[in-house]
Copies of this chain bind each other. A is one copy, B any other.
């Protein structure tokens, strides 16, 4: 299946010059950036997933191992999103019958956490195969394959996780037909304090809760906030960023699925966060802060509160990752 409208089929790859092996990291992402449902997202430095890819003699794409998924992801190369996307790309490049690769996937973040777990793996896989082949595609040309990976993984071809995971930084999905992505400036003191309460909220369920119709007056508030956030990012105006990152439309519904949500919000704001909300479809939550200290304060206090209520959790404190995926090793 080809999913691209451009001239990828015409690209020539010299397999004699391809690498033997490559190890790639791709970052977790915070989709929506609280107020920008389905259009905004940013990448973080940690957590993230790793793909090790090795060239082998026998043609085809195989999954050799998956670590960190508690056995939840399929090893079957046609059903696993990472390998399925790699196969798609090799097919479009006319290499499906010539090249053999085996993949080891290491997940450093929980599945179903709202941190773009499937996106990070997909992006790592596609970035790895592209690196192995000597980068025949630009990042922008890899994007449609990443979006298709999201469709396979989640049933929706959304780009608000894969765009920041692939391009790094803060991304705006202005539109889907055609895919229209804009990178936004990253104020350097912006830090995300992420807490993942270890409860299960599948993306599909979280989406199904959302109402199909919204009040225009609420939508006006929401797009005023989105506009304020974009302006705040360009102006490096942290106050404006903070008071703009308010979600009046989606959060009231999704918060129901997240234990202690409003208490966590109160704690984060008291700890000095600029804003607090749900990462993607949850249950991870994010305290957007100015500086690492404030973010650390917020997540420490939130975790203590969850612990006191018998809820296990993980925390990650990270600046915005401006680079996206990176090659960790190659030969």
Contacts and interface: CB of A to CB of B under 8 A. Distances in A.
Given A174-B227, A182-B231, A230-B234, 10 more contacts: A37-B223, A40-B227, A172-B231, A175-B221, A175-B224, A175-B225, A180-B243, A211-B216, A230-B231, A234-B234
A226 B210 CA distance: 22
A215 B212 contact: yes
Contact of A228 (B174, B210, B224, B249): B174
Most buried by B among A37, A215, A216: A216
List the number of copies, as a whole number: 2
Contact of A172 (B212, B215, B228): B228
A173 B244 CA distance: 11
Interface in A158-211: 172-175, 180, 182, 184, 210-211
A99 interface: no
Interface in A257-299: none
A251 interface: no
Contact of A244 (B37, B174, B228, B231): B174
Nearest to A221: B175
A175 B35 CA distance: 14
A159 B233 CA distance: 23
A38 interface: yes
Contacts of A222: 219, 223
Given A182-B240, A184-B231, A215-B213, A224 B37 contact: no
| Interface size class of chain A, counting residues whose CB lies under 8 Å from the partner chain | 35 or more
A324 interface: no
Interface of A: 36-40, 172-175, 180, 182, 184, 210-217, 219-228, 230-231, 234, 240, 243-244, 249
A11 B234 CA distance: 35
Contacts of A215: 212-214
Given A175-B221, A216-B211, A228 B184 contact: no
A265 to B, nearest CB: 19
Most buried by B among A184, A212, A214, A220: A220
Nearest to A222: B223
B40 A228 contact: no
A155 to B, nearest CB: 15
Given A180-B243, A213-B213, A226 B228 contact: no
A210 B219 contact: no
Nearest to A172: B227
Contacts of A212: 215-217
A216 B227 contact: no
A214 B211 contact: no
A216 B213 contact: yes
